[in-house]
């Protein structure tokens, strides 16, 4: 409150403390101004009745000393900001004027930084290309409690996704991939597998961020499934791997987190209700007791003990949705590994996703203090 006192006194005001009953402004707002949609308001009230903010904060506190291994693809995210000028008179294209650009270390690096905000130590195993490696950017982007094991793929670039963006409203126009997503050379695959064999069992949990860009082959997946004490997996479907990188590549996991599109692709059903997909289809194709399917602005569906549960989103209008699902996955994985009920883990994950959509690219990661403050404000 020191900053507030200084501001009041600077302009001639005076602070007076009374000894009468005090109230929480967050509590008054949450309970009287009806600022939340009915599903979210009902969900928050249910959480308050069953332990409330103290229980949620204890779950975040519980994982603060966890040792985590993260395995997956590094992605360099290029944001090129351009202003559209109009159609070229001689070509069927829209001409744009370059404004500026910025480059972020994403993929497994972004997930590792989000994990590092709530866990004690995070080790990363990933592959960079020898051509256009962006090693300096990757090494300078990690938090102090993140350690890197970087393998190098010869004659290939580090996967880079260059997005051209209209800056006024951060609207993406199109993107260009720089990548080689063919299988790893046998010697590099063996090197990666040796690291997994030697180290995976030494961690509280192993987090796999599989973006489907050639790093994780069937032999590596088999070792991860065999060696990890607790295995959390996100297998992403994107424009480069559509239909080829399904979560069903993993025969077993302790926790999986995918989005609606990825769930539909995995079970081959375009129209079925997501709750039915999770309960009746996906849970029977993978040996996994804890599943989350994220629904974007509608929140998520969780599966646990044979039952599905819908959890509403906690978010406003997004600035940039890139990395929101990764933030959700990163924050929920250790909390699920700690034994937390899925409805609490997904509530914290929804907070992380809601915080991430207010961040452009990976300018910064979701931090523990923001999770705690938001949880307190919502549950008072």
pLDDT 10s digits, 188-247: 999 999 999 999 999 999 999 999 999 999 999 999 999 999 999 999 999 999 889 999
Mean pLDDT, range 275-284, rounded to an integer: 90
Say how many C-beta atoms besides its own lie within 10 A of residue 9's C-beta: 11
Q: What is the pLDDT of residue 28?
A: 44
**With contact defined as beta carbons under 8 Å apart, do 274 and 252 qualify?**
no
Q: What is the pLDDT of residues 87-138, one digit of tens each?
A: 999 999 999 999 999 999 999 999 999 999 999 999 999 999 999 999 999 9
Residue partners of 71: CB distance under 8 A and separation at least 6: 108, 124, 125, 126, 196, 206, 207, 208, 209, 216, 220, 224
How large a percentage of the chain has pLDDT more than 70? 96
In Å, what is the CA distance from 43 to each residue of 35, 100, 235, 347?
Answer: 14, 43, 28, 9
Which residues face 256 on adjacent strands?
A: 233, 291
Strand partners, 259: 294
Pairing of strands 290-294, 300-304: antiparallel
Asked whether the predicted pLDDT for residue 149 surpasses 90, the reply is yes
Phi/psi of residue 42, nearest 5 degrees: -65, -40
Measured at the CA of 262, the angle between CA 256 and CA 263, to 5 degrees, comes to: 70
**Per-residue pLDDT reduced to its tens digit, 241-266:** 988 999 999 999 999 999 999 999 99
pLDDT at 42: 87
- What average pLDDT is seen over the chain? 92
Is the distance from CB of 323 to CB of 114 less than 8 angstroms?
no
Q: What does the pLDDT look like over 22-78, one tens digit per residue?
A: 655 555 444 544 556 788 888 888 888 877 889 999 999 999 999 999 999 999 999
Q: Position of tokens 């479907």?
A: 237
CB neighbour list of residue 182: distance below 8 Å, 6 or more residues apart:
214
Nearest to 319 by CA among 290, 273, 366, 354: 354
pLDDT for the residue numbered 29: 47
| 3-class DSSP state of 344 | helix
The answer to whether the beta carbons of residues 166 and 82 sit under 8 Å apart is yes
Euclidean distance between the first and final Cα of the chain, in Å? 19
CA 311 to chain centre: 17
pTM of the predicted protein model? 0.88
């Amino acid at each position: 409150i020191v900053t507030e006192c200084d501001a009041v006194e600077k302009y001639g005001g005076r602070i007076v403390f009374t000894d009468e009953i005090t109230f929480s402004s967050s509590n008054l707002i949450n309970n009287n101004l009806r600022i939340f949609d009915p599903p979210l308001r009902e969900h928050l009230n249910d959480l308050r009745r069953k332990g409330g903010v103290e229980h949620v904060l204890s779950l975040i506190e519980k994982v603060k000393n966890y040792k985590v291994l993260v395995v997956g693809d590094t992605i360099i995210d290029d944001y090129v900001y351009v202003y559209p000028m109009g159609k070229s008179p001689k070509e069927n294209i829209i001409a744009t004027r370059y404004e500026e650009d910025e480059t972020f270390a994403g993929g497994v690096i972004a997930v590792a930084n989000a994990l590092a905000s709530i866990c004690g130590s995070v080790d990363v195993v990933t592959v960079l290309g020898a051509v256009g490696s962006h090693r300096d950017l990757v090494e300078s982007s990690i938090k102090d409690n993140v350690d890197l094991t970087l393998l190098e793929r010869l004659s290939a670039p580090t996967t880079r996704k260059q997005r051209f963006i209209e800056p006024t409203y951060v609207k993406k126009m199109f993107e260009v991939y720089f990548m080689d997503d063919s299988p790893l050379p046998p010697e590099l695959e063996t090197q990666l597998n040796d690291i997994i064999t030697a180290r995976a069992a030494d961690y509280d949990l192993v987090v796999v961020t599989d973006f489907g860009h050639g790093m994780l082959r069937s032999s590596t997946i088999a070792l991860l499934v065999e060696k990890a004490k607790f295995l959390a997996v996100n297998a992403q479907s994107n424009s480069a791997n559509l239909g080829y990188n399904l979560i069903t590549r993993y025969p077993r996991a302790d926790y999986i987190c995918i989005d609606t599109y990825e769930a539909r692709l995995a079970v081959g059903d375009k129209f079925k209700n997501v709750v039915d997909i999770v309960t009746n289809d996906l849970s029977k194709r993978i040996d996994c007791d804890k599943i989350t399917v994220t629904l974007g602005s509608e929140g998520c569906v969780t599966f646990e003990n044979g039952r599905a549960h819908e959890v509403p989103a906690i978010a406003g209008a997004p600035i940039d949705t890139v990395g929101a699902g990764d933030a959700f996955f990163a924050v929920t994985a250790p909390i699920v590994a700690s034994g937390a009920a899925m409805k609490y883990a997904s509530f914290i994950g929804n907070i992380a996703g809601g915080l991430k959509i207010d961040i452009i690219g990976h300018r910064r990661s979701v931090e523990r203090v923001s999770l705690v403050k938001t949880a307190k404000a919502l549950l008072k």
